[in-house]
Chain A
Amino acid sequence: AQKVTQAQTEISVVEKEDVTLDCVYETRDTTYYLFWYKQPPSGELVFLIRRNSFDEQNEISGRYSWNFQKSTSSFNFTITASQVVDSAVYFCALTLSGTYKYIFGTGTRLKVLA
């Protein structure tokens, strides 16, 4: 069975600090996709990134970066120089090739304090 674990329930940082959100997944399939979504207080889930299991290249987008390591089944998300606007709940998700169902983690609430 597939599983996504986000062990950090809540993280608080001071503005301009770097913060890493952890995501550990479980699957026996070789073809799968990993996602990160941001849920600000308004509630809408905002798509951040999609990564397939054959692409272990790390990705950077502005202040955001993602570290995908198949050896440890992790897909961690780092925000550099955090800002108050980064305060949100962040979800990691997994889906298998050819399926419709996302397996979501329970989310990590990030609070960035001014």
Chain B
Amino acid sequence: SQTIHQWPATLVQPVGSPLSLECTVEGTSNPNLYWYRQAAGRGLQLLFYSVGIGQISSEVPQNLSASRPQDRQFILSSKKLLLSDSGFYLCAWSVLLADTQYFGPGTRLTVL
């Protein structure tokens, strides 16, 4: 069966520090991968999606970036965090477009 992992689970970082969040999927090949952000008490915002290694599409301009160095690994990064980057970051995967997306456990990021 397929599983999706995210780490770390929680993170507290100072403003201006770098960020690296990791997501890995097991049990499937060539998944579509997604990064979402959920601000406190709000809905989900799609940040990036990827249909293959090295293929990244950005949904919103921001100081975050994403990379997919391996088939089942998706990384969310920032060189300098802003206060507004605080939130709950969710990684998801799907087999096909318009298919069910399965979400990871999330990373709660607090920028101070």
Contact = CB atoms under 8 A, between A and B. Distances in A.
Interface residues of A, number: 23
Interface size class on chain B is 20 to 34
B46 A102 contact: yes
Nearest to A33: B98
Interface stretch (A13-21, A42-50, A57-65): A42-50
A81 to B, nearest CB: 27
B12 interface: no
A101 B47 CA distance: 11
Interface SS majority for chain A: loop
Contact of B42 (A45, A47, A106): A106
A101 B106 contact: no
A100 B49 contact: yes
A99 B90 contact: no
A73 interface: no
A98 to B, nearest CB: 6
A60 B38 CA distance: 30
A81 B7 CA distance: 36
B103 A45 contact: yes
A44 B23 CA distance: 14
Contacts of B106: 43-44
A106 B101 contact: no
Interface of B: 32, 34, 42-44, 46, 49, 51, 59, 88, 90, 92, 94, 97-98, 100-106, 108
